[in-house]
A and B are shown apart, each in its own frame.
Chain A
Amino acid sequence: MTEQLFSNDALPGPDDITRQSFDNGSVLLTRPNMSSPAVLIRGYLPPGSAFEDPEKYGIANFMASMLTAGTRKHAFRELHDEIETMGASLSISSGGLATSFSAQCLREDLPRLLALIREVFTEPTFPARQFQRIKTQLLTFLSIQAQDTAAMADQAFDRAIYRAHPYAIPELGFPHTLQMIIREDLKDFHQRFLGPKGMVVAICGGVQPEEALGAFERSLGAWINPAQQPQPELPPVEALQGIIREHVTLEEKSQTDLVIGTFAPKTTGPDYLPAQVGNEILGQFGMMGRIGESVREKAGLAYYAQSELGGGLGPTTWQVVAGVNPKNLNKAIALIREELARFTSELVSEEELSEVRSALVGRLPLSLESNAGTASALLNLERYQRGLDYIRQLPSKFAEITREDILRTAQTYWQPDTLVIASAGEALS
């Protein structure tokens, strides 16, 4: 293994991360970077899209999109005029289990931006005109997405692997369900589910911890929603059986997108780190690991071909993805399955493991150099209850992973004859 080229003390840890929980059920994590003139705010809070009424699929994302459409204090134009005049940004979107937000401003504007974030969360008016306009935008986006081979292959994969589980449903919903949603639905959904219990926020950049804590306490830390209902538990997924093959035909497409995958280990479980190291070898390291070497470098079949290990509190997947000419689709599938068979039957080499361990450790300071990288890392510490010293422990945790750990994990989760294979592009011949 290459010698570690930095001190672990350079990574975020208990001595430079401040964590504070608030009476309203929210948690703030902050780490200063006084060389930056900017401040980044990132966070997540309930609800997500996983518990929507089937007739109203897409309501969580629609509600999130409408939060910045106007408040009791600011009409749409006034609100965005204030944000854009500061040179700030604010975006809100919905995922499976949470609504996420990201905001950024110059250091001096932090208190004002936090106050505006609280305002859009607590006082949205869902104005009728903006409701219709944003609904049209969402429907147009869905119609554009319906022509996107990568998005359609992903959705086909999710339908096949998650089946009756809520994650089978696209987070943006469907055109017919969006059409069913009325303004009152959004108001009701907002009132019942959006709230500070379970909210986690990270503030990183050119602000001292006490200043960030004070600004947060006066804004989001003081928000109370007595009507906030807890989200139910996610149901379990059904185990995969056999090969499931799905294809979405899209006319006049030059490239077919392909997703091959299975379920991933729990992000908080003991198999996750061995899977992360194994995934690097399978389809990430350098120019996309073994998959990239086989499908792109040697066979020249694809511009991109790599593996991706999902992470999250719900069930996630472990995938290999590629974009190929339609005539090469079966050849690419065969090559990927060959690599999966090798990955699940042979120990990775000492050299592969050594290089990948070095890469994962060496990547830490690079991934954490920016405010955005640090904020995402802090949110994950809280999301997965890892403790503030987790990032500094990672080098030694990676060093403990063995070749046998990787093979055992690969064999547990990848079974070459139990896979979902989904693609989207021109009709299969």
Chain B
Amino acid sequence: MSYLIRGKIALFIKVIVVTLFVSILLLLAQSAFAQKEYVIATFLLIAVLLLSLTYLTKISVPLKFFIPGILLLTAFVVGPILYTVAMSGFNYKTGNIISKEEAIVQIKVRGIEPAPSGLTFDIKLGTVDGKPAILASDINTPEYFISTLEERIPLVASSLTLNEYGVAVEAPNFTPLTDSEFSTADKLFTGTRFTFDDQYFIALEGFEAGVVSQQILEFVPEADHFKNLVTGAIYTDNGRGNYALADDKSAILEPGWRAPIWFENYSNIVTDSRVRGPLIRVFIWTVVFALLTVLTTFALGLLLALALNKPIRGRRIYRSILVLPYAMPSVMSILIWGGMFNTEFGAINALLGTEIAWFSDPNFARVAVILVNLWLGFPYFYLISSGSLQAIPSELMEAAAIDGANPRQIFRKITLPLLLQILSPLLIASFAFNFNNFNLIYLLTGGGPRNELDGEIAGATDILISYTYKIAFGTGTQDLGLASAISLIIFLLVASISLYSLRKSKVLETFA
């Protein structure tokens, strides 16, 4: 084995592996650069530099161990965290997803209107001298011409081949598109303006019709605004990612772009009642849900631990059955429970003899969520409570018993306080975990039930994290900026809770 670690062969293998990684990363960096993803390209180049410096020179021994981990962490954890911070300062939602340059192009393309004459033509796509062109026919007049980007060439009907509707399909010098060329035609023809006269041009509507159109929105780069050529209205950059009329803020041009709005996403959480209202309701339920989960799972786990704290017959069997809920993949368990709560066919209603619509009523849905989480979580507290019970010195209990305390008093005055002291960091950790227990909510109730009529996306069982997910990836408006802001607030909450518990458990002191 050792020849793989030292000597010429080892060096050879090392150089090959490093070269391989470096060249892959370089290739990626190059294509990232070509696509104008400068941040990603820079990261990749730095990675290349670090890799070659670390493994081909003797600059630092610890780095040899850290580099792969650091690169992965930076790319997929630290990077996204920073990106989340950045996104939270932007107006970044449906309608404001692209960059400003792209938005300007889009507005120009969309800023056309049919001419007052309302003229339309039947058209065939093709090329003239290798350049895109259309063969236009007005079957009523009838009138025929070829139009390219530069000029309009009138044609006489006798030189053309017409189909049964009187639409020209072939003309001299005009090469119609073949079927295979049609698949790529979209890029060449959509948005292209074919000559009509000095004022108007022909814009395509699908591949079969052309509309005589005029540009009504014109971009003025020096002033950074759009001008409506018909009405003379001026649309200026409103600082929030849209061109809008100065006196009517709601008159904006679509699409917008992602624009920095600094702390507006955060301040909206406080000031905008449409954001604040549901958020507060969701927050309260999140805390209640996490607290109730910790309480119920801990209580049941502790009860079990106490009951099985004596070598009674069958204890091993009990134990192996009791950890099963914890051993099952939780995704499967949650889905199974979802089926069991089904109103018509579910086992719960069959067992209770009821016909409760569990997931349609807010309170029943909440009960179901807590119950399922109890099932998922109690084995964890059973395992750690029974471990901790054994760690409590039995002398304490014996001394109390000699002093005349009954078992209940011993439990309340000695066992429970000691246990709580030992387990408090884990109780807090469990609270923090359930605070973000996305899978349970998403898979069991989907956050529902919710009142669909008022357009509110927060449901009765939505916790902060599932609500945030809906804001970012929901079916309506997707607001990545707001979702990022809420994400960071959740992180601050959870991190302070976890740090507090770690400090309590003295992990931080063992660093030195």
Q: Are A and B associated in one complex?
A: no
Please list the residues of chain A having a beta carbon within 8 angstroms of any beta carbon in chain B.
none
